[in-house]
Structure 1
């Protein structure tokens, strides 16, 4: 890996800063709103999230897995938390009761992650999360994220119809960013994401105006356990704990995919450090009302687009992001980034993740029988993703959060199929001729 020039490092660091920002901003805002937290608490949570995520990225880059993989709020956890909040009223459970149980489950799952790294149990975990399971996870993750960003880049009127001017602008930005990424030469192509965000932000502001945000100045007055004090509401705790264990697939799949991209395997020490850091950060995050962390497999999309694999820009970008969280007015300025612009550019960046998933399957060949090991969990997960959580309201509250999550259910089915069926016995079966 050739050494980056100073100018390339500066621009690559800024690109990581914007990438981290675009992936982080919506999460604490949406979770705070879901728990009906006060504006003051949400503002502090947002700044804490910036500091927390920035430090986490730097730690993983320096002493964890040491790849250019963003450490951020887990999409799996984010989806589960929003789903639980939307169902809280119907279940008769208060937000603080549910939030406290979530905190308990997250802390327990964090302890398990630390123990896995400390006791070097990762090889046992890798036997459970086989390459096929990891491939299915990458496909489901890319589909889920693309759906989120596609909906996020569109704007809707109060009546539920599309706001055509803004939505068409987002589609145009997708095309422009894609063209820059595909046809741009050298540095231009490498910084397509950064260019797309800046250009899109400026043009959007000129056409539609700048969104106004509340000032986030002043000191950081932390509220401990803003979701609710830890408790043992068994159904929520169990769901959170299982989600935490499944979330470890992010560590395995992200590192495995990064090893393929970088062309070498990391040491056992770094692998263990990655799990310990993620576990410790998960435990600390819930104290401040933040969604637990994980390495972002989606970072591979940015790496594929830019072809800049050096970890220095990620570390610098992460530290800049943490510093940004300490400066209230600066956070206020960056929160004026139009959500539709951020989602449109990320929609392009995350297309590469789908390519990473496809590459993970290049050595696989299927016939009419073995296709079930791949198609069944993938299509089940996608089908559930397209159903409203209300569909599952007749099921017991204990299992609703699990069965209504397409990514979780697809992943669980993939693990079951891999553990219970000897697919090798069916691989030599010839196909009928016509």
Structure 2
């Protein structure tokens, strides 16, 4: 029995490690590319990312919200940083000027988040991020992530078209993992994500020899502010700070969803502690040019897929991830994992996130009037996600990062609609006419 328990813990920990790594590796590398840093700096950012992501998971699970939730790089802030880096020329600024402004804004946002936690002011946030706002956020996050993973599955060529053989392998892998999850015995289905990554990686290497991702050994040396030293570019600071503050909505959604999964009610202290550690590690992230942290709501989909709610494998996975960040050869090995394989497996894992978003409606019934509170922000966000940022070129450059981000605009519209409209009167009116 002990051997079975030990083996279960070992495989569960490896599964957590691959899940954490697959959600982490592409972020620092893509940010480095957007800001045109050297390969050595990109590898340093990757090592720092693995180290701090592992530590952030450990501290959140130990003293923060105390749930096994991946504390990873914020998808919202990732999009903002990529957009700012890729539009540097149109903004008329250098990469280091933008990077320095981003660093200043994110340091301020991280410090502000910690102050809210220390002084107990986080209790005001649920008044802004109401249940309906959180529902809108969950739907938009689901759509954003699924589009990222779907495009990543296709193995885009330099011409921007799909790589057909790679895409076929990705589709087969999606079907394989889905069948394991649904049809296989529970003991196997619990490890569908891990099995999918290992099988997919082996299949990719056998089918496409020599086409795997290459990564020279990373140097064990961390440099401060690789994207640019903090400065006073007020417009960039404002964009980064606002996005950093809005990022706090993710903590509320994640902790509430985790509590529901465990059949518990999240306590105010859990939110306060979670905000503090998110702010702390976001400050660390800003020092090393990384995207700030947030509890991943999408982890709920992973937990629902694996049905493993024990925290021990989560802690072990976090320790291994942090250790890999300190061992350059291990970092270099894991970076060779084909990203199309990781995206295909995560596509299946995050299908569960749509269920989390749908469940957050808690059986709500809409009529022709009240449907606006959900449909307007969600559909606006989806429309913006599918609109090229170049469309907003004629507008002021500092508005472009906001308007081009469907997640930000959808959540903002939802907050406004919830504050300026008494939706209860429309519900009553519908009842009165029935």
TM-score (norm 2): 0.97
User: Could you say if the C-alpha distance between residues 16 and 183 of structure 1 is closer, same or farther in structure 2, counting changes exceeding 3 Å?
Assistant: same
Cα deviation code 1:112-144 (max 9, x no counterpart): 110111111222101110000001100000000
Cα deviation code 1:224-262 (max 9, x no counterpart): 101111111111111111101110011100001111111
| Contact 1:392 1:403 survives alignment (8 Å) | yes
| Contact 1:368 1:431 survives alignment (8 Å) | no
**Equivalences for residues 73-88 of structure 1 within 5 A:** 73-88=73-88
Cα deviation code 1:378-410 (max 9, x no counterpart): 000000000000011111112111111000000
Residue equivalent to 2:216: 215
Q: Shift of residue 431 of structure 1? A: 7.8
Give 3-state SS (helix, strand or coil) of 2:72's partner: strand
User: Could you say if the C-alpha distance between residues 305 and 212 of structure 1 is closer, same or farther in structure 2, counting changes exceeding 3 Å?
Assistant: closer
Q: Shift of residue 185 of structure 1? A: 1.0
Q: Distance in 1 between matches of 2:381 and 2:215?
A: 38
Give 3-state SS (helix, strand or coil) of 2:361's partner: coil
**Equivalences for residues 37-52 of structure 1 within 5 A:** 37-52=37-52
Q: Shift of residue 306 of structure 1? A: 1.0
Residue equivalent to 1:28: 28
**Equivalences for residues 248-397 of structure 1 within 5 A:** 248-397=248-397
Q: Distance in 2 between matches of 1:392 and 1:274?
A: 36
Q: Distance in 2 between matches of 1:432 and 1:162?
A: 54
Cα deviation code 1:328-368 (max 9, x no counterpart): 11111111100100000000001100110001113311000
Residue equivalent to 1:154: 154
Residue equivalent to 1:412: 412
User: Could you say if the C-alpha distance between residues 308 and 212 of structure 1 is closer, same or farther in structure 2, counting changes exceeding 3 Å?
Assistant: closer
Q: Distance in 2 between matches of 1:367 and 1:393?
A: 38
User: Could you say if the C-alpha distance between residues 212 and 360 of structure 1 is closer, same or farther in structure 2, counting changes exceeding 3 Å?
Assistant: closer
| Contact 2:251 2:274 survives alignment (8 Å) | yes
Q: Distance in 2 between matches of 1:245 and 1:328?
A: 34
Residue equivalent to 2:163: 163
Q: Distance in 1 between matches of 2:343 and 2:431?
A: 44
Q: CA RMSD in A?
A: 1.5
**Equivalences for residues 84-95 of structure 1 within 5 A:** 84-95=84-95
Q: Shift of residue 29 of structure 1? A: 0.5
Q: Structure 2: 5+ residue runs without aligned partners?
A: none
Q: Distance in 1 between matches of 2:287 and 2:351?
A: 34
Give 3-state SS (helix, strand or coil) of 2:87's partner: helix
Q: Distance in 1 between matches of 2:78 and 2:194?
A: 25
Residue equivalent to 1:103: 103
Q: Distance in 1 between matches of 2:243 and 2:319?
A: 29
Give 3-state SS (helix, strand or coil) of 1:294's partner: strand
| Contact 2:123 2:268 survives alignment (8 Å) | no
Q: Structure 1: 5+ residue runs without aligned partners?
A: none
Give 3-state SS (helix, strand or coil) of 1:227's partner: coil
Residue equivalent to 1:241: 241
| Contact 2:55 2:319 survives alignment (8 Å) | yes
How many equivalent pairs are there?
A: 430
Residue equivalent to 1:9: 9
| Contact 1:367 1:431 survives alignment (8 Å) | no
Q: Distance in 2 between matches of 1:319 and 1:249?
A: 27
Q: Shift of residue 269 of structure 1? A: 2.7
| Contact 2:40 2:218 survives alignment (8 Å) | no
| Contact 2:155 2:340 survives alignment (8 Å) | yes
Q: Distance in 1 between matches of 2:118 and 2:156?
A: 48
Q: Distance in 2 between matches of 1:399 and 1:163?
A: 35
| Contact 1:235 1:397 survives alignment (8 Å) | no
| Contact 2:103 2:230 survives alignment (8 Å) | yes
Q: Distance in 2 between matches of 1:212 and 1:102?
A: 29
Q: Distance in 2 between matches of 1:46 and 1:167?
A: 27
| Contact 2:224 2:288 survives alignment (8 Å) | yes
Give 3-state SS (helix, strand or coil) of 1:72's partner: strand
TM-score (norm 1): 0.97
| Contact 1:67 1:311 survives alignment (8 Å) | yes
Q: Distance in 1 between matches of 2:25 and 2:286?
A: 17
Cα deviation code 1:250-283 (max 9, x no counterpart): 1100001111111112333332111110101111
Give 3-state SS (helix, strand or coil) of 1:429's partner: helix
| Contact 1:173 1:345 survives alignment (8 Å) | yes
